[in-house]
Structure 1
């Protein structure tokens, strides 16, 4: 009977129902300030005219997502009023009630239907081995678990609180459409996504180059060089019309009211500083650690006067501008330049040697990680933009599976500081342990790995990650250093996970360069 259930494809439904039930168990768990952020946005969009949406500042949590997301909040608000209409009063700052909590949590669970559908489409894009009767060991089943039960999404959306699953649904569905050669549908979905949350500009260069090269140029030479005579202006026009139409729907009302500059000032608040409240584990986290280490050394050697140094409090958990003490302070332009330069090899690769939608997916991952590594005011949660799509490559390639295991394990642990209350300690450890064990076991079995998919030094690094977790989460809270240096666990977590994510970025680039170094197959 169980075998028949699996054969009918009911396994996907079972996975979906299982994870949905798990999410309901977190309804009364800890939630972050993002809970109040979205409650305030519900109130703004429901109670105020459109002309005041991006001007309202009663709360410090002003509306700073693109207009389509504001309309999404507006739609949700009409359901929210049936739970507790007091949550829709702008002046009710930090308002909370059992009905408000229930609605907010359920809204995330129900809007995850977009992510669930996208995961289903992605599973249809992977290649299952012919004659495989064991569905539980098939690439599609493993991919479904890696997406639907992703540890990062579970804690960020359903405990910490956000709507990333809804947004990632559009990204994954767009990728699936490109894998299915439905490029206009993929472009439309990505244009909608950009107008829901502008953080996905991280991967926009990959979309732009891929669509121009592989969709607008309809024929290629066997060596992958460009044939300008195969350029299709009608296809370029179709893509342009899609982008313009979506942006017109999103920004049109604000253009008519002359408020575009006001909207953009909310979307790109450069005065928030280089780093987010919790250090994202990227190149700037390592830069901050180096600056702090040099400052301590120079002060002890009396090479600098401590009273003359600028106040560098990037470990303080605040969102604001700070200057580095010893190293040169980083500007937004410098981060933009570093990001673009780190993307260029990947973009040049899919332009010179297009390898279809999977080549585009690899480029998208590199663009996501480049933006995460060098971007301005990067949120730690943004690493999921690379982790989730990498799942598609991990179930098809042994080498990509190794990169996925290293990146996902490191990235997921870097999210631990988001849940800092004792009540969630066991939850986050248990969920991550279960997901990590499944990932290693399932991918190892899928790729018939007799040994580990990781290299020896990578195993040593992940062992060190376990030591950092024990020290920061279990030992440090009971040590005398807790009062003297409360920032130490955050610093250690950010610095150590930065090394793993930087390495994963370089290793992923290595796979791209090896693909480029291979001789093209002759037709």
Structure 2
């Protein structure tokens, strides 16, 4: 069955080949050309195109390997000066390269699914049919699938107590895309606590005495350092230039389309206060073009204090700290700790999404992918996955702005939501009887949560029908984007608070493990 599902999903991806693609298509074509036609000493200096190489060296090497194949499709795509080149063979190669690399994600999804024996198919479908990855990678165009595959392989290794292998996978991931630095603290805390502190004794109260192992710490350090040496070694003389490319802080607090996070609410609040102050006749500066003009740039807030990168980093770290402390103080039983590691990963990924500097809307996948894995292992996890999955995937709709893609976006989201809402609640209905629901109440959600999800329908109707009918598409062209950001930000914020409290307050002895989940699932089926 897994093979059949994989074939169907791959077939769908092939249908997406001729569809719209974003400027990221030219970004990666340019990187192919740079790595193929220039020496490695020039990779991070070449600036013929505005889309300069700004990923870590391992990704640059990946582009070089891909270019060796690309030359057989169309050599012209590898010319540095051939900007915005997109022949049919170029499009075909770029699209196929994403599909082929997705093999890593498919393998990782299968590995994760096999950890939960009686829920293999459900978990596998939730992962490889993720509409966010389909939209971002196979229409919008990026290479996120294989990166999240490596993340899932690292999680699988951690759950199986293969700490060095988990560290190896994560180090490779960091050297492919540095955005994963945001969840590095979770790995550092967990690996130090479970691998470098050896359990000397433990009693029935889940209390243990630990002995620090310098040997394990050195071994861990060698594994991680080796990956960084292989990645950055050839570029030792160019590290300042590489870091300047990797961390361009001149891009502004928010992306052109505000990611649905705390700063979207902050920006919106600034706009509302500014509006009322103007009505009161107060003299304040106006910055509409900077914040809602669809451009990537720095801007200053009109009323509220302007935010600097340092502020976002401090807020992100402070918001993560309670979760990291909780993870450090978990009990000695590795069965409980492993899944708490995944939950902490989700919490800290959400913290970085909420407060990070220049967060892309696509970063919501860093929350959705691990949540897809954990949603089958706890009722609260399942409930909150239904919320964040629906809201998070809807928040990606503005990426695919051409009108002819509207039906595809809605179909993918509704199909995935119907599958999730139709199957996840059944995992926790141990009595086998449908629960009484209120008016239009969705499974596992309360009335208010259900109405919030239905609100996405109204938002979609306004953006594509009402806004145009009122003739506001010319006078207020970016209003629908702002409303989408703010409305989805409310849902993400709710998820973050709810899941954070759940993680902090949850009794570690009640954390589901793979052993107990499988046994309980078997007993439920047997009783039926």
Please classify the TM superposition score into its range, dividing by the shorter chain length: over 0.9
Deviates more, 1:463-472 or 1:20-29: 463-472
CA–CA separation in structure 1 for the residues paired with 2:71 and 2:412: 34
Q: CA deviation at 1:519?
A: 9.1
2:389 to 402, 408, 412: 408
Instruction: Name the SS of the counterpart of 1:259 in structure 2.
Output: helix
| Separation in structure 2 between the aligned mates of residue 149 and residue 166 of structure 1, nearest angstrom | 14
1:56–1:470 Cα change, 3 Å: same
C-alpha RMSD of the superposition: 1.6
**In the alignment, is the contact (CA less than 8 A) between 1:312 and 1:325 conserved in 2?**
no
Match of 1:331 among 308, 315, 322: 308
User: Residues 258-297 of structure 1: matches in 2 within 5 Å?
Assistant: 258-297=237-276
Do the aligned residues in 1 keep the contact of 2:330 with 2:337 (CA within 8 Å)?
no
Find the counterpart in structure 2 of residue 350 from structure 1.
327
The one of 189, 192, 203 equivalent to 2:172 is 192
Is 1:114 the counterpart of 2:104? The answer is yes
Correspondence for 1:181 among 136, 155, 161: 161
1:226 & 1:173 partners in 2: Cα distance?
A: 29
Contact (CA 8 Å) 1:349, 1:516: kept in 2 or not?
Answer: no
Q: Provide the residue aligned with 1:499 in structure 2.
A: 490
Partners of 2:37 and 2:80 within 8 A in 1: yes
Question: Is the Cα contact below 8 Å between 1:410 and 1:501 reproduced in 2?
Answer: yes
User: Mind listing any 5+ residue stretches in structure 2 that lack a counterpart?
Assistant: 436-442, 513-528
2:462 alignment counterpart: 471
* Residue range with higher mean Cα deviation, 392-401 or 448-457: 448-457
Matched with 2:31 is 41
Q: Which residue of 246, 255, 271 maps to 2:227?
A: 246
Residues 224, 352 of structure 1: 8 Å contact kept: no
- Aligned counterpart for 1:301 among listed residues 280, 302, 310: 280
SS of aligned partner of 1:482: helix
Change (3 A) 1:184 1:443: same
- What is the aligned residue count? 496
Please state if 1:381 is matched with 2:362: yes
- Corresponding residue for residue 51 of structure 2: 61
Asked whether the equivalents of residues 311 and 323 of structure 1 are also in contact (C-alpha less than 8 Å), the reply is no
Equivalent pair of 1:312/1:323 in contact (CA under 8 Å): no
Corresponding residue number in structure 2 for 1:132? none
Q: Match of 1:391?
A: 372
Structure 2 CA distance for partners of 1:241 and 1:164, relative to 1, 3 Å: same
The aligned residue for residue 500 of structure 2 is 509
State the shift of 1:448 in Å: 2.0
Q: Which string of whole-angstrom CA distances, capped at 9 and with x for unpartnered residues, describes residues 392-420 of structure 1?
A: 21112111100000001000000000011
Query: Structure 1 stretches of 5 or more lacking a match?
Result: 1-10, 129-138
How much does 1:126 deviate?
1.7
Distance 1:209 1:224, change over 3 A: farther
Distance in 1 separating the partners of 2:287 and 2:454: 37
Give the secondary-structure state (helix, strand or coil) at the position aligned to 1:51.
Answer: coil
Distance (Å, rounded) in 2 between the aligned partners of 1:164 and 1:328:
34
Correspondence for 1:435: 416
Larger deviation, residues 281-290 vs 314-323:
314-323
The change in CA–CA distance for 1:61 and 1:520 in structure 2 (over 3 A counts) is closer
C-alpha displacement of 1:516: 4.4
Secondary structure of 1:227's counterpart equals strand
Is the contact made by 2:33 and 2:79 (CA closer than 8 Å) also made in structure 1? yes
- Counterpart residue number, 1:487: 478
CA distance in 1 between counterparts of 2:426 and 2:508 reads 29
Query: Is the 8 Å Cα contact of residues 226 and 352 (structure 1) preserved in structure 2?
Result: no
Deviation digits for residues 422-457 of structure 1, max 9, x if unmatched?
A: 111111011111111001001122222734211221
User: Greater CA deviation, 389-398 or 367-376?
Assistant: 389-398
| Within-5 A mapping of 1:157-168 | 157-168=137-148
The TM-score, its normalising length taken from structure 1, stands at: 0.92
Deviation >3 Å, runs of 4+: 220-228, 308-312, 516-521
Displacement, 1:360?
0.5
- TM-score normalised over the length of structure 2: 0.91
C-alpha distance in structure 2 between counterparts of 1:70 and 1:520, whole Å: 40
Q: Choose which of 199, 207, 227 in structure 1 pairs with 2:209.
A: 227
Distance in 2, matches of 1:65 and 1:285, equals: 26
Q: How far apart are the structure 2 equivalents of 1:310 and 1:29?
A: 35
